Amino acid sequence: MSSFVPIYPAKSLTIQARGLPQHLLIWGDLGRISAQEPLLLLVHGWMDVAASFQFMVDALRQQPGWTERPIAALDWRGFGQTPGPTGADCYYFPDYLGDLDAVVHALSPDHPIDLLGHSMGGNVVTMYAGARPSKIRRLVNLEGFGMPATSPDEAPDRYTRWLDELRTPMQLKSYDSLEGVAGRLRANNPRIRPDRALWLAQHWAREEGGRWVINADPAHKRVNPLLYRVEEVKALWARITCPVLVIEGLQTEYFALFGGRYTREEFLTRAEVMADWRLEGLDDAGHMLHHDQPEALAIHLAAHFTRPQTAVA
């Protein structure tokens, strides 16, 4: 099998923020960041890494006006090459927002940015755009649809489960070869091309003691003791002032994960609080739409980042 070779390879950059060495991949010259050429910052989903966006960046670079635009992708804490806090027993959404805020201010202190997040990252960026509306020029949410609503009476059992899991060491499966890691990626998403899966595997895992170990803190597997509070999320979404593009894979199985407890129709109702948003779909794409259809995705992104903004009352 021929190996995937990036058309536009990224450079590695690490900055200190919130007590952690936050790792980023950089395409282009950050010194070019301006009001005319804002930074595009990409953030990945749960159990993923910044390198996951390479295929999409290659396609976006070939869109008019994108040859040299500065682009960065962040490894969230505890994923990829950003370590988790020492002794972390689970991870909290406020920390993701805090890390994102620190990185945004470090990379583009003087100019609003374009921001894109996938899945968990899509949820984070949409909340962040409500908390820091002046920092975001355009927003893209790739399948960051949120979670089922919860009620306070669920809290006792959630805390009990969390306490029980704190007593249980968490582990991630290791693999005997890089091809084994690529096979895991293809099992997760059969639509990803084999050459892309093999290339991504070397970023998704590292060799350690003769085995290939996933670049993720096993503590990510523990349940979060805090409930997902829909009304708080909607209050943040309602404060967003920039244009928002939500993109779904038309063959996604995202909502099927919840067994009827959360539906696409419910998401559409929640999204009505955003003043300027629209939903677009990509055919022959599932949840990992930036792997499945990066070229089609790039066309949607380029159009969104240049479209006029609707006045927000």
Check residue 307 and give its pLDDT: 77
For residue 142, what are the CA distances in angstroms to 123, 179, 288, 290, 300? 9, 28, 9, 8, 11
CB 240 within 8 A of CB 129: yes
For 193-232, write each residue's pLDDT tens digit.
999 999 999 999 999 999 999 999 999 999 999 999 999 9
Question: From CA 311, how far away is CA 275, in angstroms rounded?
Answer: 9
Mean pLDDT of 245-253: 97
Check residue 13 and give its pLDDT: 98
Query: Which of 144-158, 235-249, 296-310 is least confident?
Result: 296-310
Answer with the residue of higher pLDDT: 306 or 279.
Answer: 279
Which two three-digit tokens encode residue 162? 């969390």
Check residue 66 and give its pLDDT: 96
Mean pLDDT of 121-128: 98
Residue 52 backbone phi and psi in degrees, to 5: -60, -20
Answer with the residue of higher pLDDT: 147 or 90.
Answer: 147
Which two three-digit tokens encode residue 181? 């890691």
CB 78 within 8 A of CB 220: yes
Check residue 271 and give its pLDDT: 98
pLDDT band per the 50, 70, 90 thresholds, residue 312? low
3-class DSSP state for residue 13?
Answer: strand
For 22-56, write each residue's pLDDT tens digit.
999 999 999 999 999 999 999 999 999 999 999 99
Mean pLDDT of 90-105: 96
**141 bridge partner residues:** 117, 246
Question: From CA 203, how far away is CA 115, in angstroms rounded?
Answer: 22
Output the pTM of the full model: 0.96
Check residue 3 and give its pLDDT: 79
Check residue 90 and give its pLDDT: 87
Check residue 238 and give its pLDDT: 98
pLDDT band per the 50, 70, 90 thresholds, residue 309? low
Q: How many other C-beta atoms are found inside a 10 Å radius of the C-beta of residue 26?
A: 17
CB 91 within 8 A of CB 219: yes
For residue 270, what are the CA distances in angstroms to 125, 236, 238, 281, 294? 16, 11, 10, 18, 27
Check residue 1 and give its pLDDT: 61
CB 79 within 8 A of CB 216: yes
Alpha helices for the chain (secondary structure H): 54-60, 93-107, 120-131, 155-166, 178-188, 194-204, 230-237, 264-271, 289-292, 294-306
Question: From CA 200, how far away is CA 56, in angstroms rounded?
Answer: 13
For 274-294, write each residue's pLDDT tens digit.
999 999 999 999 999 999 999
